[in-house]
Structure 1
Amino acid sequence: MKKLTELPKKLPEIVKITLINLVFLAIFIELGAAALYWSKYKQLFYTRSDRSTNEAIAQLGLPLNQTATDETILERLHPFFGYVLKPNQPVNLEFSTRVFPANNWGFPSDYDYPFIRQNPNQVIIGVFGGSVASNFAMYESENQVLTKTLKEKIPELANKEIIILPFALGGYKQPQQLLILNYILSLGQEFDFVINIDGFNEVALSHLNYQENIALSMPSVQHLLPLRDVASNNLGVDELSAIAKIVENREELIQRQESLQESKLASTYLFRVVSTQAAARKYQENLMAFEKIRGQKQQNPEQDFILKIENPQEVVDVDTAFKKMAELWGNSSRLMKQSLENQNSLYFHFIQPNQYYPTGRSFSEDERKLAIIENHPYQGGVQKGYPALLQTIEQLKTENIPIFNATKIFDNVNEIVYIDSCCHYNQTGNQVFTTYIADSIVGVLNQNPELKNRWK
């Protein structure tokens, strides 16, 4: 009885001790979360920048901009290019604070097209290719790695205003670059030189075309078939239901991404990372479910689609198909150079690095989890297709086409450079890649002084 009467007297002290322990526990959790953040991103959580936060989000591998299904909502069919972005749609790199609006043609650019040279001091550079090329153009526009290198190492360009015009979008592959170039040239667009960055889409996505019995020269089936089905009202109930789930998941992911950016405490951030990863897994599961439904769908060859897509003219084995891919790629590069020469413009071609093409690069465990999925749909196309492209490069070099094999540029980079299991690079990767491109172009110009006369 005495103990019971003493309890109320001790209660404030018990509450006090409990509260003190909870405070210390919260401090320890916060310090532990901050330490985990430091070990992963090598920076203090509380002084992180917007860019570092965005890059940390990118390293979660959130598939917010990587799916054709999602892009069917954001893209528009184009009669010459295959597809473009919805005008005024905001576009940004995952780790960048800069947002680019899609211009009047549906490309992420500060300028509407055609861009007319406003004065003789402007140097106009066009960028063509797929998503890696598009990311390069946006990274360059924000960081000016190429611009600074050209001005520092080419005296004729020291005082010039360099204009970057992107004509690249996710999923583009030859001959889309060739067709876009000739179309814009026919409208009077001027270029001092053009940078074409490709290779991955030509083999990875063309391989998917081959598997779907769609002509290799057609745009990516990942992008084109969903657009065709929407345009032709050919989506079944199961597909519409799956798309609805994907859109719902995407909205949830966007909200969770925003909550990560708003986190003030490292412990809160860590909790939100875990919940965001769970939402991302759910999103991926629904994407795979949609692809399974689409794969099981029986296409009627006689169905009257509103969009005409060519089938192969002949049935070939897979090895022959890869040879044809490489031939198409090489012919498109030749024709791009010829078209630009007719306009007194220069041409530079780069084949991009990709994690599924084995080189001397050693992947850390963290990067491997982020960048490599065994039996990925792109893996077979890259491993079979890149050797065919590299063989074609040697022939193109004998024809004086400035083409560069960038597949090994990450071999001596210890940091993580990939941000997803497809092909894209983080800030470090884009910096290395852009520097390589800049140095390669400068090397060609310095080895051929006559090419620089146009800027005197």
Structure 2
Amino acid sequence: MKPGGHDLPRWKKGLFAALMVALALGAIEIVTGAAGSMVTRGVFSGYRLQAQRDALAASGGLVTMRPGWIQDEVLTGNDPFGPRAPADEHVVVAVVGGSFAYVFAEQGLPHLITRLEQLPRFHGKTLVPLNAAAGGHKQPQQAMTVAYLTSLGHQLDIVINLDGFNDVALHPTEDARAGVFPAYPRRWHQRVEGLMPSGALRLMLQRIGHEQRRAALAQVFSGFPWRFLNTANLVYAALDRMVESQLVETDRKLLKSSPATEPAIRFSDDAEMFSYLAGLWRRSSRVIHDLASAHGVRYYHFLQPNQYVPASKPMDPVETSVAWRPQHPYRRIVETAYPLLREAGQALKADGIRFTDLSAAFVDHPEPLYVDSCCHINPRGNVIVADLVFDAIRRDLASD
């Protein structure tokens, strides 16, 4: 203590030091929050990052989904329906399509089933949902799924085909680069493993390693207190973006790795390519309709919504930062190809096929619904879609 001075008690010194540290940490959090907004070019949302981390950790870093009915039946030998009830006691409602349809079947189909059960047509019946969609599916895979289940003798009473986006987006952005025939499944050249050169298998193993590292990052930064700190979230966003770029680069190399692409087809320009893809989509839907009609199944075809359809949904800054990428290749594809799908859908409708255009399903919904810059929506969005699907089915049943 200095002569004539007053030395502060230790507890006050400690309190002052703690206050200074808290203020410094607070300032760092504010700065990193602002930096995060600059990096992401939108609202830096810890909640959104945590939702992404939860999904990555739960899936092991995977971005595709294996349909549950294939997992149950093919890998385990179990019947996806469980014990069979007499056909007149239950109604099987199946959904086919890509990942949009897959998530709809998980989040929206239960709501649809509840509403259908209220219709007089289904009184006394047990409605059985069947998620027969799979991430990455595009026509003619939906048609093949219905044919496969029918061939196995599974009862189908209502088939809902919710598709369109994959059918025009996946070939030009992935398969076309590797010269894959447009009707082949997504990344067909990677799936035909026996025909792959050894370098492609090595790249696939590298991709798995990147996925696992991404999932591990998500799990670590999901813990307390990191998930609540802007600084930690900014570090996580930077590391995740680095791993994501490694995934993109590995995918780019994979797209060049396999010759299993025949028969070769070359389009003179994008207009010819999109016309071909829309025609393939239309013809495949007609195949499902014909097969369903032959077996007494009611088939409903819906064109899925997408955020890149012009003027199809109002978005606030938060949703825009998550779901809208002005330079995304999907934007140009949707703007170019969706009018062709709508036109093809009207041709289906004119031929007596139950087609409904849901591309503007969210035009009156300003609340956030899209969860990524591709096409996927949250549970609220899937309930909205379920209500629209219900309306179409109800009107059709009422016309009988």
- Check whether TM > 0.5: yes
Residue 423 in structure 1 maps to residue 375 in structure 2: yes
Correspondence 1:338-417 to 2 at 5 A: 338-417=290-369
Closer/same/farther in 2, CA of residues 288 and 237 from structure 1, 3 Å limit: same
1-structure distance, mates of 2:282, 2:101: 18
1-structure distance, mates of 2:199, 2:373: 28
Is the contact made by 1:245 and 1:286 (CA closer than 8 Å) also made in structure 2? no
Letter in 2 for 1:210: A
Is the contact made by 1:60 and 1:277 (CA closer than 8 Å) also made in structure 2? no
Cα deviation digits, residues 74-113 of structure 1 (max 9, x gap): 88xxxxxxxx56999xxxxxxxxxxxxx422479xxx734
2-structure distance, mates of 1:213, 1:157: 48
Match of 1:169 in 2: 134
Match of 1:57 in 2: 50
Match of 2:148 in 1: 183
Alignment match of 2:79 (pick from 93, 109, 112): 112
5+ residue gaps, structure 1: 37-52, 76-83, 89-101, 302-307, 449-456
2-structure distance, mates of 1:65, 1:203: 29
Deviation at 1:232, TM superposition (A): 3.0
5+ residue gaps, structure 2: 35-45
Match of 1:253 in 2: 217
Match of 1:285 in 2: 245
Match of 2:184 in 1: 218
Alignment match of 1:17 (pick from 15, 21, 27): 15
Letter in 1 for 2:79: D
1-structure distance, mates of 2:139, 2:79: 23
TM-score, length-normalised on structure 1? 0.72
Is the contact made by 2:274 and 2:337 (CA closer than 8 Å) also made in structure 1? yes
Is the contact made by 1:353 and 1:408 (CA closer than 8 Å) also made in structure 2? yes
SS class of match (1:194): strand
Match of 2:161 in 1: 196
Is the contact made by 2:98 and 2:133 (CA closer than 8 Å) also made in structure 1? yes
1-structure distance, mates of 2:339, 2:333: 10
Is the contact made by 2:54 and 2:222 (CA closer than 8 Å) also made in structure 1? no
Is the contact made by 1:249 and 1:279 (CA closer than 8 Å) also made in structure 2? no
Deviation at 1:386, TM superposition (A): 0.9
1-structure distance, mates of 2:53, 2:362: 21
Closer/same/farther in 2, CA of residues 105 and 364 from structure 1, 3 Å limit: farther
Letter in 2 for 1:287: L
Is the contact made by 1:61 and 1:370 (CA closer than 8 Å) also made in structure 2? no
Correspondence 1:282-321 to 2 at 5 A: 282-294=242-254, 297=256, 301=259, 308-313=260-265, 315-321=267-273
2-structure distance, mates of 1:177, 1:62: 26
Cα deviation digits, residues 404-427 of structure 1 (max 9, x gap): 100111111111111111110012
Match of 2:96 in 1: 128
1-structure distance, mates of 2:68, 2:117: 34
Closer/same/farther in 2, CA of residues 160 and 276 from structure 1, 3 Å limit: farther
Residue 439 in structure 1 maps to residue 399 in structure 2: no
Deviation at 1:54, TM superposition (A): 8.5
Deviation at 1:65, TM superposition (A): 9.2
Deviation at 1:247, TM superposition (A): 3.1
Deviation at 1:258, TM superposition (A): 4.1
Closer/same/farther in 2, CA of residues 313 and 12 from structure 1, 3 Å limit: closer
Letter in 2 for 1:353: P
Closer/same/farther in 2, CA of residues 4 and 182 from structure 1, 3 Å limit: farther
Match of 1:305 in 2: none
Closer/same/farther in 2, CA of residues 268 and 395 from structure 1, 3 Å limit: closer
Letter in 1 for 2:189: L
Closer/same/farther in 2, CA of residues 63 and 216 from structure 1, 3 Å limit: farther
Residue 147 in structure 1 maps to residue 113 in structure 2: yes
Cα deviation digits, residues 355-380 of structure 1 (max 9, x gap): 12213422222212211223323333
Number of residues of Structure 1 aligned to a counterpart in Structure 2: 382
Structure of greater relative contact order (alpha carbons < 8 Å, 6+ residues apart): 2
SS class of match (1:373): coil
Deviation at 1:55, TM superposition (A): 7.1
Is the contact made by 1:249 and 1:282 (CA closer than 8 Å) also made in structure 2? no
SS class of match (1:133): helix
Closer/same/farther in 2, CA of residues 131 and 54 from structure 1, 3 Å limit: farther
2-structure distance, mates of 1:65, 1:311: 38
Match of 2:41 in 1: none
Is the contact made by 1:131 and 1:168 (CA closer than 8 Å) also made in structure 2? yes
Between the two proteins, what is the percent identity of the paired residues? 25
Match of 1:268 in 2: 228
Residue 3 in structure 1 maps to residue 30 in structure 2: no
Closer/same/farther in 2, CA of residues 22 and 162 from structure 1, 3 Å limit: farther
Letter in 1 for 2:121: E
Is the contact made by 1:63 and 1:280 (CA closer than 8 Å) also made in structure 2? no
2-structure distance, mates of 1:237, 1:343: 42
Query: Mean alpha-carbon deviation: is it higher for 239-248 or for 403-412?
Result: 239-248
Is the contact made by 2:54 and 2:219 (CA closer than 8 Å) also made in structure 1? no
Cα deviation digits, residues 196-218 of structure 1 (max 9, x gap): 01000000012233343221111
Closer/same/farther in 2, CA of residues 309 and 236 from structure 1, 3 Å limit: closer
Closer/same/farther in 2, CA of residues 4 and 333 from structure 1, 3 Å limit: farther
Letter in 1 for 2:344: T
